[in-house]
Chain A
Amino acid sequence: MNDFGWLTVLLLVPLVGGVGVLLLPRDHPLFAKRAALGVSLVELVLAIITCASFTQGQPGFQFVQKYSWISDFGISYQVGADGISLVLIALSAVMVPVVILGSWHDADKIEATGRRSVPAFFALILLLEAGMVGVFAATDLFLFYVLFELILIPMYFLIGSFGGPQRQYAAVKFLLYSLFGGLIMLAAVIGLYVLSTQQFPTGTFDYTALLNLNITPGVEKLLFWGFFLAFAIKAPLVPFHTWLPDAGAEAPAGSAALLVGVLDKIGTFGLIRYCIPLFPEASRYFAPLVLVLAVIGILYGALLAMGQRDMKRFVAYTSIAHFGFIALGTFALTSQGGTGAVLYMVNHGLSTGALFLVVGFLVARRGSKDPAAFGGWSKITPLLSGCFLFIGLSSLALPGMSTFVSEFLVLVGTFTRYKVAAILATIGIILAALYILLVYQRTMQGPLSQGVLGALRRRGSGRAQPVAEPDDAGNLRIRDLTGREAWVLAPLMGLILVLGIYPKPVIDTIRPTVDATLQQIHQRDPAPTYPVAPVANVAQPGGGP
C-alpha cells in the first residue's frame, strides 16, 4: 500500500472539491455547505486510510512520489510523509470538517450584503486544506516554498472578506508578516540551491539530497536565520507575534481555529523539519537563544492573555504561550522534547481549535467578544459552559487530557538538558490555570449578566432556530448548545480525552522520525545521572538514539 500516492490524492481531493464548490451557484448556499462538508469528510476518510497504511517505526518518507516540474533547476513535484508530517496531515483532515460545520452560518450575514458568496467561503476553506496537506507533504524545497506562499491567499480572503470590523487591517498585517518571512526564506532556499549546484553534479531542491550538503559554518548560520525567521513569524514566536492577535480576533471563529490550530503549525513544523536537519551546527549554536525566546513567549503570552478584553485575542495570546512550549521542546534537542513538541502541535490544534470554536459560539450569542458582557451563563447554557470548561482545562494541560502528555514531554525533555529553561516554563502552568479560570469565571460564573434574560428553549422542529433572541427592550434570551454545535465540539473533546489516556499510537508514529532527525545531527539524549535497572514486571523501555 505504501507505494500508492495517497498524498497526491489527499492534495487533489480538497483542491478539486474546492474549485467545484467555488463554481456552485450562490443562490443555493445550503447545497454548497453540504458539498464542502462532504468533500472534507471524504478527505477525512482518505486520511484515515492513509494513516492506517503508514508503516510505523520506519524513519524515512513513505507514499513517495516524484515528477519533474522545472527540470532546468532540478525542481520537481515531490511528496512524501514521515511520522511528523503524517500526524499534521491527519490533524488538518480532522479539523477541516469540524470547522466547516462550526462555521455553518459564519458567511450568511456577509453574504446578505451581496458582496461575498457563501460557496466562496467554503471553497476557500477547502483550498486552504489542499495547501496545508501540500505544505506538510512536500519534500521539494521549491514546492514547499510555493505552497507556503500560496496558502496565504485563501487565508487572506477568509480574514479580509469574512472577518470582523477590523478585518482589512488584520488581513493585510497577516499577509505582510508572512510575505516578509517567506521572501527571506526564498533567499535561503535559493542559497541552498546554489550550494547544491556547487557540490552536486546538478542543482536540486530535493530535501533529502540537500541534507548531504557541506555548508561552512558562517553560511550555515545565515541560511538558518533565513528559514528560522520565516517559521518564527509563522508560528509565531515572541517578538514576531503581533500579527496573530489581530488575525485571530478578526477572522471568523472557524477560520481562526484553522489559522492558529493548523496553519501556524507550518512554522513549528518547519523548525523541526527544515531548520534543525538542514543546519545542525547552527541549530545547536542558536538553540539557547531560541530557548530564551520560547521561555519569554510562554510567560509573556500567558501574562498578556490575562490582560485581554477580547476573548478571541485572549485565545490568540494563549497560543503564543503554547507555541513557546513547542519551540522549547523542539530546540531542547532531546527525543522527549522533540516528540513532545510534535505531539503538542497536534494537541494544540485540537484544543485551541475547539477553544476558538466555542468562543465563536459564545460571541454569536452575545454579539460581543468582551468577557465582561457575559457572566453567570452556566445557569442558562449549562452544556455550552461545560464544554467551555472542558476545553479550557485541555488548554491548561490537565493530566488525563492529551495536552498534558505533550506538555510534560516537552518539559521533561527540556529539563534533562536545560534545567533553568524547564523550571521557568513550568511556572507557566500556574499562569495557564489563572488565565483560563479567570475567563471562565467572568463568562460563566457569578450573577447573570445585564441584558441577558434567561434561557431560550427550542421551539417546534424547525431547522434554523436562532441561538439568541432579543425581546422588545433588547434583552437577550440565549439558547444552549445546539445539535450542530455539539457535533462540532464532541469529536474534538473525545480526541482530547482518548489521546490523553492512550497516546501511544500517535507517539509511536512521531518518535521514530524525531529519533532519526536527532541522529542526523548527532544528538543523543542525556543519560540518567544515577541509572536504575528497568523494573522487572514493568514493560521494558525501547531503545533510543
Chain B
Amino acid sequence: MPPAAPVQYLPATGVFSATWLLVLFPLIGAAVLLLGGRYTNKWGPYLGVLTPCLSFVFALFLWMAMIGRSGDSREISSTLWTWIPVNGFHVDVGYLIDPLSMTFVLLITGVGGLIHIYSLGYMAHDERIRLFFGYMNLFVASMLILVLANDYLVLYVGWEGVGLASYLLISFWYFKPEAATAGKKAFVMNRVGDVGLSLAIMTMFWAFGQTNFAAVFGGIGGAGSGVALALTLLLLLGACGKSGQFPLQAWLPDAMTGPTPVSALIHAATMVTAGVYLIARSATIYNASQDGRTAVLLVGAITLMIGAIIGCAYDDIKKVLAYSTVSQIGYMVLATGLGTAGYALGIAHLLSHGFFKSTMFLSAGSVMEGMEDTTDMRRFGALTKAMSVTHITFLCGYLAIIGIPPFSGFWTKDAIIEAAWDKGGTSGTLLAITGIVGAGFTAFYMTRLMSMTFWSKSRWRETFRPHDAPKVMLVPMGILAAGALCVGGILVIGRLLQNWLVPSVGEYTEGVRAVNPWLMSTITLIVVLFGVAGGVQGFVRRPVPTTAPVPVSPLVMAARHDLYDNAFNEAVLMRPGQWATRVLVFFDNRGVDGLVNGLAAFIGGTSGALRKLQTGFVRSYAVGILGGAVVALGALLLLRAA
C-alpha cells in the first residue's frame, strides 16, 4: 500500500513567521515572575498584565493579516526545532495557525487579558500577588501552546501545562486544606483524561508513523474504521478530563476554592474550552467515525443535564456558576458531536460563553469582594442598589446565558438545539428535547441565582457593607458584559463564524431535517420563560430562608450531593484504592520481604541472624568474595587443565 498523502499547510511567511511570539510573551512573564523572587514584587503584577495584552495586540495584527489572505491560504504551519527524533518517531516543535487557532488565540489573550487586569484589583491585597500573576501567565502560555501546536505531542505539552497551572491556581491558597485537595483532585482527574490523549497519540504513531496534524488528518481516511473509532473515543476521554464532562466532571465545582479570577480564566478563556478545541481540531478524525460522534453526543447530552440539574440545588454562587459551565460545555460538546453541522456552532457557543461566563464570574467576584468573601447566596439579597454596576454586568451575563433574544446565548444555544433537531431521526428529536429542557433548567437556576443575590429581600442585615468594586475591576467587567450581549449575534447571524472556520473544520452542512428556525426558537423561548417564572416564583415572591430547607425531595437531595458522583468516586475508586494500598504495603513488608528474608535465613541456617548481624559481617562478606573468587579461579584452572 503506498503511503497516504499528508494534508498540506502553507509555510509561514511575513508576520506569521513570528507566531511564536504569542507564546513567548506570557512565557517570559511567567519565568520572570516565578524566578525573579521578591525583587519583582513592585512591578511584577504590571508585567503580568502586560504580557497577555502584548500577545493580544500581536494576535490582532495576525488576525488582520489572516483576513487579508484568501480563504484557502489561511492555514499556516512551520517548524521551530526538532524535539524528539528517534528513527520513525520524529516530533518537531512547530505551530499551526489557522482560523480555528486564531479564534482561540483571540479569546485566550483578549478575555484572558481582561481577567488579568481585573485581578490587579481583586488580588491587590494578597501578599503573593506576584506569584499569582506568574501562574496566570503560565496558564495563558500553556493554553496558547495547546491551540497553536501542529503536532498532537506538542499539544499535549500545553494540555498538561494547563493542568499544572490550574493545579497551582486552584490551590493558590494552599493553607486551606480544601483548596489543596481541590487542586490535587483537578490534576489527578485531568490525568485520567490525559491517559486517553496519550494513548490516542500512541495509536496515531502506531497507525500513521507520525503524530503531526498534517499526517494524521491525511492518513485517517485510509485507516480502518476501528482506528478512527479508537482515536475518537480516546480523544473524547481526554476532552472529558479537561472540559469537566461526564464522567470526569467532579473536579470542576471543587475548583471554585481558587481565587475568583482563576475560576473566570478556567471557565471562560482556557482549560475547559480545551476539550472542545481538541474535538473541533480533530474534526477530520471525528468525521471518519459515526460511532465516535455518537459517543460525543451522548457525553454532551448527559453532561448538559447533569450540570443543569445540580446547578439548581447549590446555594454557593460560585458552585452554581461552575455547574452552569459543566452544562454549557455539554452543549458545546453535543454540538461538536453533530459533525460538520456542529463544529462551528460549538465554537460559536464557546466564544459567547467565554464572554458571558467571564462576565458572571468577575461580577460574582465583585459581589464577594463587597460581602467579605461570602459565597452563600442565602446571605445575599437586595444588592441591586448597593452594587448597581455589578448588578448590570451580571444581568448582561444572565440574559446572555439563558438566551433571551437578542443576546448572545439566544443565537448560539438555539443554533445548537436547532442543529440537533436537524440531525433527524429519534436521536435528533431526543437531543433537541434535551437541549430545550436543559435551557429551561438553565433559566430556572440562573434566575434563582439572580433572585437570591440581587432581587430578593436583604438577608445580610448590618453584617456587611456591600459596595461596588474599584474601577480596575469594573472596567473589564463592563467590556466583557458588552461582549456577552452582542458576540453571539455577530458570530452566528450571516454565518460569519461558520464561514470563517471552513478551512479548519470543513464546510458547514445543514442537517437533513429542516425546521423553521423561528418555530424552534419560540418553543425554546417559551420553556426558558417557564424556567424564569419558576425562579421568580420561588425566590422573589417567597422569602428566601437563610439556611437551606432540610426535608426536600430525593431529587433535590441528590442534586445537592452532585448526583452522588463524589460519593460514587469515593466508594468505588478512593476507598478500595486506599484499602488495596494498605494490603499491598503489608504484603510487601511481610510477604515478599519476609519470604526472601526467611529464605536467606533458611539457607544460612541462622534464623533471625540477619537482623542481629553487626559490622563483623563485613568480614564474612570478604570471606564470601574470597571464596567466590577461589571457586571461580579453581573452575577456570580445571577448565584450562581439561
A160 to B86, CA, bound (A): 42
Q: Do B199 and A172 touch across chains, with their CB atoms under 8 A apart?
A: no
Binds B, one of A127-135, A349-357, A403-411: A403-411
Report the minimum CB–CB distance from A490 to chain B (whole Å): 11
Taking CB atoms, residues of chain B closer than 8 Å to A511 are: 85-87
- Bitwise, A525-545 to B at CB < 8 A (1) or not (0) is 111111111111111111111
Most B CB contacts (10 A, CB to CB) among A160, A502, A532, A543 go to A532
- B555 close to chain A: CB less than 8 A: no
Q: Do B175 and A533 touch across chains, with their CB atoms under 8 A apart?
A: no
Q: Do B610 and A378 touch across chains, with their CB atoms under 8 A apart?
A: no
**Given A503-B84, A539-B82, CB of A532 within 8 Å of CB of B210:** yes
Q: Do B84 and A437 touch across chains, with their CB atoms under 8 A apart?
A: no
Q: Do B92 and A412 touch across chains, with their CB atoms under 8 A apart?
A: no
Most A CB contacts (10 A, CB to CB) among B5, B86, B593 go to B86
Taking CB atoms, residues of chain B closer than 8 Å to A90 are: none
Report the minimum CB–CB distance from A250 to chain B (whole Å): 13
- A455 close to chain B: CB less than 8 A: no
Q: List A79-121 residues whose CB lies under 8 Å from chain B.
A: none
- B605 close to chain A: CB less than 8 A: no
- A13 close to chain B: CB less than 8 A: no
- B613 close to chain A: CB less than 8 A: yes
Q: Do A412 and B205 touch across chains, with their CB atoms under 8 A apart?
A: yes
Q: Do A533 and B628 touch across chains, with their CB atoms under 8 A apart?
A: no
A416 to B194, CA, bound (A): 19
- B409 close to chain A: CB less than 8 A: no
Q: Do A529 and B207 touch across chains, with their CB atoms under 8 A apart?
A: yes
Taking CB atoms, residues of chain A closer than 8 Å to B209 are: 527-528, 531-532
- A25 close to chain B: CB less than 8 A: no
Q: List A155-187 residues whose CB lies under 8 Å from chain B.
A: 156, 160, 168-169, 172-173, 175-176, 179, 182-183, 186
Q: Do A149 and B207 touch across chains, with their CB atoms under 8 A apart?
A: no
B639: contacting residue among A194, A386, A408, CB under 8 A:
A194
A324 to B1, CA, bound (A): 37
- A280 close to chain B: CB less than 8 A: no
Report the minimum CB–CB distance from A453 to chain B (whole Å): 16
Chain A's closest residue to B145 (CB) is A400
A409 to B621, CA, bound (A): 41
Q: Do A242 and B199 touch across chains, with their CB atoms under 8 A apart?
A: no
Report the minimum CB–CB distance from A527 to chain B (whole Å): 7
Report the minimum CB–CB distance from A377 to chain B (whole Å): 10
Taking CB atoms, residues of chain B closer than 8 Å to A441 are: 180-181, 184
- A43 close to chain B: CB less than 8 A: no
- A426 close to chain B: CB less than 8 A: yes
Report the minimum CB–CB distance from B243 to chain A (whole Å): 18
- B214 close to chain A: CB less than 8 A: yes
A528: contacting residue among B79, B207, B585, CB under 8 A:
B207
- B9 close to chain A: CB less than 8 A: yes
Taking CB atoms, residues of chain B closer than 8 Å to A541 are: 85, 87-90, 210
A532 to B227, CA, bound (A): 14
- A379 close to chain B: CB less than 8 A: yes
Q: Contact residue range for chain B?
A: 35 or more
Taking CB atoms, residues of chain A closer than 8 Å to B551 are: none
Q: Do B195 and A430 touch across chains, with their CB atoms under 8 A apart?
A: yes
Q: Do A430 and B191 touch across chains, with their CB atoms under 8 A apart?
A: yes
Taking CB atoms, residues of chain A closer than 8 Å to B161 are: 399-400
- B44 close to chain A: CB less than 8 A: no
Taking CB atoms, residues of chain A closer than 8 Å to B86 are: 335-336, 339-340, 409, 413, 507, 511
Q: List A327-347 residues whose CB lies under 8 Å from chain B.
A: 335-336, 339-340
Q: List A52-95 residues whose CB lies under 8 Å from chain B.
A: 72-73
Q: Do B88 and A532 touch across chains, with their CB atoms under 8 A apart?
A: no
- B529 close to chain A: CB less than 8 A: no
Q: Do A535 and B227 touch across chains, with their CB atoms under 8 A apart?
A: no
Chain A's closest residue to B209 (CB) is A528
Taking CB atoms, residues of chain A closer than 8 Å to B600 are: 176
Binds A, one of B215-223, B262-270, B296-304, B371-379: B215-223
Q: Do B3 and A538 touch across chains, with their CB atoms under 8 A apart?
A: no
A179 to B614, CA, bound (A): 17
- A415 close to chain B: CB less than 8 A: yes
Taking CB atoms, residues of chain A closer than 8 Å to B184 are: 434, 437-438, 441
Q: Do A412 and B89 touch across chains, with their CB atoms under 8 A apart?
A: yes
- B518 close to chain A: CB less than 8 A: no
Binds A, one of B392-400, B501-509, B536-544, B576-584: B576-584
Chain B's closest residue to A145 (CB) is B632
Q: Do A72 and B640 touch across chains, with their CB atoms under 8 A apart?
A: yes
- Bitwise, B566-591 to A at CB < 8 A (1) or not (0) is 00000000000100111011001000
A528 to B2, CA, bound (A): 12
Q: Do A504 and B82 touch across chains, with their CB atoms under 8 A apart?
A: yes
Report the minimum CB–CB distance from B530 to chain A (whole Å): 43
Q: Do B174 and A532 touch across chains, with their CB atoms under 8 A apart?
A: no
**Given A303-B580, A504-B82, CB of A530 within 8 Å of CB of B212:** no
Q: Do A412 and B5 touch across chains, with their CB atoms under 8 A apart?
A: no
Q: Do A525 and B87 touch across chains, with their CB atoms under 8 A apart?
A: yes
Most A CB contacts (10 A, CB to CB) among B88, B198, B219 go to B88
Q: List B253-298 residues whose CB lies under 8 Å from chain A.
A: none
A437 to B580, CA, bound (A): 19
B188: contacting residue among A149, A404, A434, CB under 8 A:
A434
Chain B's closest residue to A536 (CB) is B8
**Given A242-B596, A530-B227, CB of A416 within 8 Å of CB of B87:** no
- A197 close to chain B: CB less than 8 A: yes
Q: Do A335 and B202 touch across chains, with their CB atoms under 8 A apart?
A: no
Q: Do A445 and B610 touch across chains, with their CB atoms under 8 A apart?
A: no
Taking CB atoms, residues of chain A closer than 8 Å to B43 are: none
A539 to B77, CA, bound (A): 13
B3: contacting residue among A169, A408, A526, A531, CB under 8 A:
A531
Q: List B141-175 residues whose CB lies under 8 Å from chain A.
A: 153, 156-157, 159-161, 164, 167, 171, 174-175
- B16 close to chain A: CB less than 8 A: no
Chain A's closest residue to B593 (CB) is A242
- B244 close to chain A: CB less than 8 A: no
Q: Do B6 and A529 touch across chains, with their CB atoms under 8 A apart?
A: no
Most B CB contacts (10 A, CB to CB) among A182, A300, A340, A535 go to A535
Q: Do A532 and B205 touch across chains, with their CB atoms under 8 A apart?
A: no
Q: Do B592 and A336 touch across chains, with their CB atoms under 8 A apart?
A: no
Taking CB atoms, residues of chain B closer than 8 Å to A122 are: none
Most A CB contacts (10 A, CB to CB) among B161, B183, B625, B640 go to B625
- A38 close to chain B: CB less than 8 A: no
Q: Do A242 and B208 touch across chains, with their CB atoms under 8 A apart?
A: no
A173 to B599, CA, bound (A): 13
B208: contacting residue among A239, A340, A532, CB under 8 A:
A532
A378 to B168, CA, bound (A): 12
- B635 close to chain A: CB less than 8 A: yes
Taking CB atoms, residues of chain B closer than 8 Å to A438 are: 184
**Given A399-B160, A504-B85, A532-B6, CB of A429 within 8 Å of CB of B195:** yes
Taking CB atoms, residues of chain A closer than 8 Å to B159 are: 399
- A23 close to chain B: CB less than 8 A: no
Q: Do A429 and B194 touch across chains, with their CB atoms under 8 A apart?
A: yes
Q: Do B611 and A169 touch across chains, with their CB atoms under 8 A apart?
A: yes
- B81 close to chain A: CB less than 8 A: yes
A444 to B179, CA, bound (A): 13
Most B CB contacts (10 A, CB to CB) among A300, A416, A419 go to A416
A-B CB proximity, top 7 nearest: A544-B87, A528-B209, A541-B90, A445-B180, A242-B593, A307-B585, A532-B219
**Chain B interfacial positions (CB closer than 8 Å to A):** 1, 3-6, 8-9, 11, 34, 77-79, 81-90, 92, 94, 153, 156-157, 159-161, 164, 167, 171, 174-177, 179-181, 183-184, 187-188, 191-192, 194-195, 198-199, 201-203, 205-210, 212, 214-216, 218-219, 222-224, 227, 577, 580-582, 584-585, 588, 592-593, 596, 600, 610-611, 613-615, 617-618, 621, 624-625, 628, 632, 635-636, 639-640
Would you list 21 pairs from A and B whose C-beta atoms are within 8 A, ordered by A residue?
Answer: A156-B618, A172-B610, A179-B621, A303-B577, A303-B581, A307-B584, A408-B201, A413-B89, A434-B188, A444-B174, A445-B177, A502-B83, A525-B87, A526-B206, A530-B1, A530-B207, A533-B218, A541-B85, A541-B210, A542-B87, A543-B87
